[in-house]
Structure 1
């Protein structure tokens, strides 16, 4: 009897020492237009870019946008500030001609917000024009503003004097709280301008025409 009791106690102590093995889910990450995101493949983190905006599509999916050169379909997406939380979404599509990508997020892993840094997004609108002043929120250079030159070559783009460098790709370009474009590139030199971004109305029109993830998008 004593021997059986000792064995039983030893078994309990062993269980306490090793834990029950129950996994604890990571808390959700907070993401919005202007948040830094890390894109990867095969378990490897590859690119750091900026989320343009986040919201819901007509099918009820939680979706976001970023620059197309930041990731290919199937790539994982993490919050840059908490990569240890693991993937919280995946790239659903990427369109090189307009340089945008659609991300589908796991609703259980993301808290979507409409304000990051000094940029708040309350809606989407038509392209800005000279002499509007636009601002952007990027993961590298933060919040910067500059005059809008407009669509210089009629190529569905907005040119501005906002400061951008590597990592700001995908950053939201806003006039007030209206999203008008995303950052895709800069000409001449970093922060010397002009910065070039695809017009958001063109992007959303192209997504709607395809009818896949992101169609019917509305920002949070």
Structure 2
């Protein structure tokens, strides 16, 4: 059985829908990057899910943008930093695509300091997944840094299966080959950390964003 990896959020965000992206604030600045834990809340600030950020970067309009798993939230949902809940809502989901299971977040540049390193994962570029029997790794808010053998695209295009350990809350976690971002964590088959991890190839995500236009088009990860 394919199981998605969201975990119910424990608390509401301190700031609610009245705070828009791009509004200056005296609230703390959150340092966020691929592998950071994020809190998702509805437009009233009521907590929904805890997930993991895939990456942070800039699109061709100069917006600060993040990516996470699509099942983590819907357009209009608020996004906060799990480690710094007092910072409140620092971004908002602007689009969510069910097929490839990714969501685009627009962050407030005054509230977020982007980084390319979280835990043991550093992202220096974007590329293609490793093939069997290569090794890939991920960083997640629940299980941290774990690595495993790559099985490849076994059942469907744009999805790569690995033996990386993932559990609830790791949804959206960056999957890397070395320091190259190649995918995101979306689900597992059967039993967490035993059944294979299922991840969406990041090239497919960015190609889809670029075809649709809007927030995230021309995305370049934070160097």
Instruction: State the TM-score, normalizing by the size of structure 2.
Output: 0.87
- The SS at the match of 2:169 is coil
In the TM superposition, residue 94 of structure 1 has moved relative to its aligned partner by 0.1
Cα RMSD after superposing both structures: 0.9
Q: Output aligned runs, 1:5-20, within 5 Å.
A: none
1:172 to 171, 174, 185: 174
- The SS at the match of 1:88 is strand
Task: Looking at secondary structure, tell me which structure has more helix per residue.
Answer: 1
Instruction: Determine if the alignment matches structure 1 residue 92 to structure 2 residue 94.
Output: yes
> 5+ unaligned residues in a row in structure 1: which ranges?
1-23
Q: Report the equivalent of 2:19.
A: none
Computing the radius of gyration from Cα coordinates, the structure with the larger value is 1
| Cα distance in 1, alignment partners of residues 95 and 130 from structure 2 | 26
Q: Report the equivalent of 2:38.
A: 37
| Cα distance in 2, alignment partners of residues 200 and 43 from structure 1 | 29
In the TM superposition, residue 82 of structure 1 has moved relative to its aligned partner by 1.1
Q: Report the equivalent of 1:25.
A: 26
> 5+ unaligned residues in a row in structure 2: which ranges?
1-24
Contact preservation (8 Å) 2:129, 2:177: no
- The SS at the match of 1:196 is strand
In the TM superposition, residue 156 of structure 1 has moved relative to its aligned partner by 1.1
- The SS at the match of 1:131 is coil
| Cα distance in 2, alignment partners of residues 155 and 193 from structure 1 | 19
Instruction: Determine if the alignment matches structure 1 residue 47 to structure 2 residue 53.
Output: no
In the TM superposition, residue 200 of structure 1 has moved relative to its aligned partner by 0.2
| Cα distance in 2, alignment partners of residues 156 and 27 from structure 1 | 38
- Count the aligned residue pairs: 197
Instruction: State the TM-score, normalizing by the size of structure 1.
Output: 0.88
Instruction: Determine if the alignment matches structure 1 residue 69 to structure 2 residue 71.
Output: yes
Q: Deviations over 1:53-98 (max 9, x none)?
A: 0000011000010000000000000000111211000001000011
Q: Which aligned segments of 4 or more residues in structure 1 are displaced greater than 3 angstroms?
A: none
Q: Is the deviation greater in 112-121 or in 124-133?
A: 124-133
- The SS at the match of 1:84 is helix
2:162 to 142, 160, 169: 160
- The SS at the match of 2:130 is coil
